[in-house]
Amino acid sequence: MNCSKKMNQTNLHQRGLQGNSIGYMPGLDGLRALAVFAVIAYHLNLTWVPGGLLGVSLFFVLSGYLITNILLKQWEQSGAIDLKDFWLRRARRLLPALFVMLAGVMSWVMLCAPERMAALKQEALAAVFYTSNWYLIFHQVSYFESFGPPSPLGHLWSLAVEEQFYLFWPLLLGLGLRCLRQRKWIIGGTMAVALTSAAAMALIYIPGQDPSRVYYGTDTRAFALLVGALLAMVWPSRKMNPDLSGKKRLALDVAGGLGLLVVLLMIGKTNQYQTSLYQGGLLLYSVAAACLVAVLAHPASYLGRLFGWGPLRWLGDCSYGIYLWHYPVIILTNPVVSTEGLNLSRTLLQIAVSIILAALSRYLIEEPIRYGRRKQVRRRRSDLQWWHRPLAPSTKISFSILLMFIILFVTLDGGMQISESEKALAKSHVTQNQAQAADKDEISSMEPNATDKKSDISGDNITIIGDSLMINVEPVLQNRLPGIVIDAQLGRQMYQAPDLISKLQKEGKLGKIVIIELGTNGSFTEKQLMNTLDSLQRAEKILLVNTRVPKPWESVVNETLTKVAESYPNTKLIDWHLISSGHEDYFYPDGVHLTQSGMKAYEETLIDALISNKNDEREVISN
C-alpha cells in the first residue's frame, strides 16, 4: 500500500543507477485502487463485501513483490544493498503523510473530545514507531472501552506490519545473498518461513474466539509479504518479455483472470470470523493475489492494460493517502448510534473527503518533501508574473496542511460526541443495577397491558443465559417474571455456554424454556451454536435472541443464529435486530446497551415471545 508509481520509477539512486532501472507497471496501481476500496467497503460495513479486509492482504503481497524486486535489482547492479538509502527513502515516502494525518486527528480530538487524548496519545506513539499491531494485541482494553467509540487510528496496524517487514527483510535478504551463492536456497528458505508463518496462524487461531492475535501479528501475517517476495525471486520484472506470441499472451491473461476471480470471490464471500480463512484460506488468497500481481506487472498483459486505466491508476497512486485518511473520516463522521443501515449520501461524502485529503497530501506534502524542489524553470522567476511563479515546497506544505484541517473540521460535525458517550456508558455499565432497581415500579406500571401479560405467564421453568445486555435487563425481567432464572455475565461468549448449561442442570436451575442471548461480544461458529443447542436436549423450547451491536461480527452472528435455528424444530428466533431497527432511542451511545425505553422494548419482545410459545402449547393440547 506504500509503494507508488514513482517508487517504481525512481527508487534506485545509489552507485550510479538510473531512476528508471525498474520499469513502471501501471496495472499495479490499478490493483492498489481495488485493494484500498475493498478496505473502505469493509470499514463502511457494506454487507455485500464482507471480505473487504482482504484488501490488506493484497497490499501485503504487492509490497513484498515490489520491495524485493527493487532490492534484487539493486544487488545485481551493484553487488550490495544500501540499507541506509533504502530506509531513508521509505521514511521520506511514509512519514510526512502519516504525521499530518496524526496531527489532524489529534487536533480534532483535543478540541472536541479532550477526555480521549490520554488513550489516543498512546496509539499515536505506537503509530509513529510502527508498532500499532502489537499495541492492539498486548494492550488490555477494558470491557467498557471495547464498546465505546472505535479508535480513529485502529487501521494503522497494517502499516506497522509492513514497516516491520521493510526493517528486517532487507537485512535477511542481504545476508542470504551474501552467504548463499545459489538463488534456489534463498527461495527455499523464504518459502519455508512463509509456510511457518501460515502454520502459526492456523495453530494459534481458536475457532469461535477473537481472532485479533493472528489477524494483527507480524509473525502470523508475514506469509503474505513473503509470497510477494517469492514472486519477485522467480518472476522478476526485468525478465518479463513484452513480445509474447498470441498463445502465450492468452495463457498469461487466463492465469491473471483466474487469480482475479479467486480474489474477488473471496472478497465477496468470506468474513474475518470464518474459520477456513485462518486455516489456509489467507495463504490461498495470497497465492491467487501473487498470480494476479505477476500478470498485471507483465508488459504484454491485456489485463494489465485494463487495470492501467487512467482514473484507476490515479486512485492507486493515491492509495497510501486514501488508506491513511479514510478510517478517521469514517469513524469521526459516523453517528454515535445508527440503526437504519447504510446512509448512501454520508457514505459517498466520506469516500469523497478521504480522496480529497489524500490528493492534497500527495501533491502538496508528500511529493515536495520526497522529491524536493523541481528543476528550475527556464525563465528566471523575476521574469515571470506572480501567478506563473511556482510555489516553494514550504508554501505548498503550509497551505495544504491548512486546507486539510479546514476540510477535516468542516466535515466532522455530527460525529462522535465522546463526552456524552462515556457518561452514558458509565450510567449503563457501572450504575445500571442500582438505577434499574430504583425504577422497577415505574417501568412495570408504564403500560396497563403489562399486568395482563404478566398474569398470563410465569417465570417458573424459564432460564435465560446471556451476557452484559441481559445484565442490563435482568432487574426488569425479575420484576415481571418472579421465579425466572437469569445467568448473565460480562463478556460471555457462545463457546462457554455448554459448560454453563451443564452446571445449571446439576444445580436444578435449568428450566423447560431456555432463552439464549449471546453474540454481543463476538462471533461463533455453527458448530459451537449446535453444541450449545444439543446440550439442551431436556428443554422443551429454546428461544434464540439475535443481536444489534455496531461491530463487524453482527451480521455473522445473526446469519448463524438464523441458519442453525431453522434446523432445530424446538428452537425459535427472536429478531431483536429487526425490532430495534430505526430506534436509536433504545440505545446508549455504545450502540449496544439499553436505555430505559430500550429495556422496556426488549422486555416486551421477550414477553411476547413467551406468550406466543404458551399459545402454541395450548393449540397443540387442544388439537
Q: How many H helices and E strands in the chain? A: 30, 5
* H or E stretch covering 571: strand 571-574
Angstrom distance (rounded) from CA 205 to CA 279: 8
Angstrom distance (rounded) from CA 28 to CA 301: 12
Angstrom distance (rounded) from CA 218 to CA 223: 9
Whether 460 is a known active-site residue: answer: no
Using alpha carbons, list the distances in angstroms from residue 132 to 76, 119, 216.
35, 13, 9
How many other C-beta atoms are found inside a 10 Å radius of the C-beta of residue 283?
Answer: 22
- Chain mean position to CA 167: 24
How many other C-beta atoms are found inside a 10 Å radius of the C-beta of residue 580?
Answer: 20
Task: Compute the radius of gyration of the chain from its Cα atoms.
Answer: 28
Angstrom distance (rounded) from CA 335 to CA 413: 10
Whether 593 is a known active-site residue: answer: yes
> Three-state DSSP class for 462?
strand
- Strands, E, within 35-188: which ranges? none
Amino acid at 27: G
Residue owning grid cell 442500582 = 434
The distance between the two most distant Cα atoms of the chain, rounded to a whole number of Å, is 101
Burial 460-494, CB ≥16 within 10 A → b, else e: ebbbbbbbbbbbbbbbbbbbbbeebbbbbeeebbb
> Three-state DSSP class for 542?
strand
Angstrom distance (rounded) from CA 582 to CA 281: 37
Active-site entry in 158, 468, 535, 580: 468
Angstrom distance (rounded) from CA 225 to CA 190: 10
Hey, which residues does 517 pair with through a beta bridge?
466
Count the residues in the chain.
623
Strand 462-466 relative to strand 485-488, pairing: parallel
Q: Which are the catalytic amino acids?
A: 468, 590, 593
